[in-house]
Structure 1
């Protein structure tokens, strides 16, 4: 699988220009950046949060940065979601390879502005072996509901 079905459908529907970047199997977004030889500040890392009441939030930040929970909690009572709770949200993705496309999965997104200042972006394709690469303009068309807000 080069890409999760939901990701492929979203890209096709939007008519986006993108490249697929293969890389050696990796466990984290930061490892993906290193193994693919791309700048970590351009790789989108998705961190899932929930409010313990069935609502989810996807925080998207550069792979080389850390989530600042105090900034996220300013938007609500969010906590980190246990990975065991994610398969039902991302059933077409490998565990731990969440694409930074909350809109495609009907999940609210917070997008750190350090990513939006990049000319292009790489995101997990829904597995641990490929990244999707596109211009930032193309990406922002895919996530029109994303709230740009500092989260790291």
Structure 2
């Protein structure tokens, strides 16, 4: 199986997104199922996916569309906590992470 990407900020995957993402990480890329994410992120509620992969030793990739957003929102590990950061703040948090066209 290829590397698993957790959804970050966008729900749909573009037709070319997985191919471009795979070219960047050097492996086949697929979205993780809910069962797989529950096993990967045991400290999060089922179905809640963290935006940061580094604490879990999981390769991450940022949708390049997020670079144009003035505000970014993501779950805080459960379905009740919504985290807000400015676009600039998100860029700083994700410094050095590869970017790709994942959604449209």
TM class by shorter-chain length? Answer: 0.7 to 0.9
Q: CA shift at 1:95, angstroms?
A: 0.8
Q: What is the CA–CA distance in structure 2 between the aligned matches of 1:59 and 1:145, rounded to whole Å?
A: 18
Asked whether the 8 Å contact 2:6–2:31 carries over to 1, the reply is no
Q: TM-score, normalised by structure 2?
A: 0.76
Q: Which runs of 5+ in 2 are unaligned?
A: none
Q: More strand per residue: 1 or 2?
A: 1
- Give the structure 2 partner of residue 125 of structure 1: 76
Q: Deviations over 1:91-125 (max 9, x none)?
A: 11101111211233322122112111111211101
Q: What is the CA–CA distance in structure 2 between the aligned matches of 1:79 and 1:68, rounded to whole Å?
A: 12
- Give the structure 2 partner of residue 79 of structure 1: 30
**1:62 and 2:10 correspond:** yes
1:75-114 to 2 correspondences below 5 Å: 75=22, 76-114=27-65
Q: TM-score, normalised by structure 1?
A: 0.55
Question: C-alpha root-mean-square deviation of aligned residues, in Å?
Answer: 2.1
